[in-house]
Structure 1
Amino acid sequence: MSDLHALFGGTFDPVHFGHLRPVEALAQQTGLARVLLLPNNVPPHRPQPEASPTQRVEMLRCAIEDRPLFAIDTRELQRDTPSWTVATLEALRAERGPQQPLAFIIGQDSLLNLSGWHRWQDLLSFAHLLVCKRPGYPAEMGSPEMQRWLETHLARDVAQLHQQPAGAIWLADTPLVDISATEIRRRRRAGLSCDSLLPAAVIDYIDRTGLYLK
C-alpha cells in the first residue's frame, strides 16, 4: 500500500463524533495513512463559526490527542479570502509533488452540491474524492450529466486510490452518524448533556472556556 493521505475540511464548531467516526471507518476501509483536519476560515457556503479560529483549533487538538490517524493543517486559517477547496488542494499538490496519492474527504451532501463549488471540475486533477454517507441524502446525482461524471470517475477497487495520485471517486460504506454541531450548540444553551456526541476532552475544553452558552 502507498502512503495515501487525505484532507478533511470543516468549520469544526465544535468537532464531534459525526466528524471523527465516519472518517476513522473510512481510513480502515481505504488504508489511509494520515488524515489532515482542515479548519475553514471563511466558509463560502455557510454562516460564520461561533468559536474563534484559535478555539476551533484547540478543540481539534483535544479531540485527536489519542487519535494518531489525525493531524491538523491550519493553512486555511491564514487566508483572509474564502476557503476554496480547490486552491488548498492545488497548494498541497505542489508541496507533495505529482506522484503522492492525495484524497479529499466529503459527505454525500457535498457531492450532490459539487457543481456549485468553485472550479469543481479541477478537484480531481489534484486529488481523489472519498465520499462518506450522510443520513437522508439520495444516492443519485441531481442531473444526468453529473451522474455520468460520477460514474466515469468511480473507483471500483481501493488499490486504485493508492496506485494513482488523483482522479478517482470512492463511495465509502461508512457508518451514518447523525450528529450536528448546530444541535450540540443548541443543547449547550439548554444545559443538556452532550457526553455521547463529542470527545470528553472537547467537552472539558468547552466547559472551561464557556463556549456556546450565549
Structure 2
Amino acid sequence: MSELHALLGGTFDPVHYGHLRPAEALAQQIGLKRVLLLPNNVPPHRPQPEASPRQRVDMLRCAISDRPLFEIDTRELMRETPSWTVATLEALRAERGPQQPLGFIIGQDSLLSLSGWHRWQELLSLCHLLVCKRPGYAAEMESPEMQCWLEDHLAVSAQQLHQQPAGFIWLADTPLVDISATEIRQRRHQKLPCDDLLPPAVIDYIDRTGLYLK
C-alpha cells in the first residue's frame, strides 16, 4: 500500500492554528505522514496578500520548525499567473507518477463552492479531496446534482485513500477551529493580542518585522 501524500494550499497571510490543527487531526485520523504546504502567489478568489511571498514562507518555516508533519513547496510562488489548484495537481501528478495516492486538503467552505473552481470536474482524476469541517457552514451541497456527485465519491474507509491514487472524497472529523487570517490582521492593526490564534514563533516573527501594523 502506497503512502498517501497530502497537500494544503493557501495564502498563509499569516499561517495560523486554523491551518495547522485541522491538518494535524486529519493526519492522525487517516494515517498521513506528510503534508505539503503550498503558499499561493496570485490567489484566484481573494485580494492580494499583505505579506510578501518571502515573509509568508518565513512565517511557515517558523510555524513548522517543531512540526515534522509539514513541508513547504514554493512552486506556486514562482508563478505570475493565478494559482489554479488543478494546474498544480497536474504538475505534482506528473512528478509523482500515476499510482501515487495524492490528497488535497480543503475546508468545508471550499467543498460547498467547488463548482466555481477552475476545471473543478478534473480534480478527482488527479487527487482525493480531504475535507475539514468549518464552523457555520451547511452540510449539504448547493444543488441536488452536486450532492449526488459528493455521495458518489465518498470514501467509506481511510484505506481507500491509500489504495487508490485519486477519486475519493473524505469528510474528516476534524476540530472546528474558528480562526481567520483576516481576523488576525485586523487584531494586529488594532494592536490587540493574537497569542491563542497562531504559534509563538510566528507571533515573534510578525513582531520583529512589524507586519500587519498599518
The alignment's TM-score, normalised by the length of structure 2, stands at 0.99
1:162 and 2:162 are equivalent in the alignment: yes
Q: Which residue of 2 aligns with 1:2?
A: 2
Structure 2 Cα separation of the partners of residues 33 and 2 of structure 1: 12
What amino acid is aligned across from residue 20 of structure 2 in structure 1? Answer: L
Structure 1 position 95, deviation (Å): 0.1
Q: Which residue of 2 aligns with 1:13?
A: 13
Gaps of 5+ in 2: none
Identical aligned residues as a percent: 85
Deviates more, 1:189-198 or 1:7-16: 189-198
Which digits, 9 at most, give the CA deviation of each residue in 1:48-96, with x for residues without a partner? 1000000000000000000000000000000111000000000000000
Determine helix, strand or coil for the equivalent of 1:61. helix
Determine helix, strand or coil for the equivalent of 1:141. coil
Structure 2 Cα separation of the partners of residues 28 and 20 of structure 1: 12
* Root mean square deviation, CA, Å: 0.6
Q: Which residue of 1 aligns with 2:64?
A: 64
Q: Which residue of 2 aligns with 1:73?
A: 73
Q: Which residue of 2 aligns with 1:197?
A: 197
What amino acid is aligned across from residue 45 of structure 2 in structure 1? Answer: H
What amino acid is aligned across from residue 146 of structure 2 in structure 1? Answer: M
1:149 and 2:149 are equivalent in the alignment: yes
What amino acid is aligned across from residue 90 of structure 1 in structure 2? Answer: E
Q: Which residue of 1 aligns with 2:29?
A: 29
What amino acid is aligned across from residue 31 of structure 2 in structure 1? Answer: G
Give the 4+ runs in structure 1 shifted more than 4 A: none
Structure 1 position 2, deviation (Å): 3.0
What amino acid is aligned across from residue 100 of structure 2 in structure 1? Answer: Q
Determine helix, strand or coil for the equivalent of 1:9. strand
Structure 1 position 195, deviation (Å): 0.7
Structure 1 position 190, deviation (Å): 1.2
Gaps of 5+ in 1: none
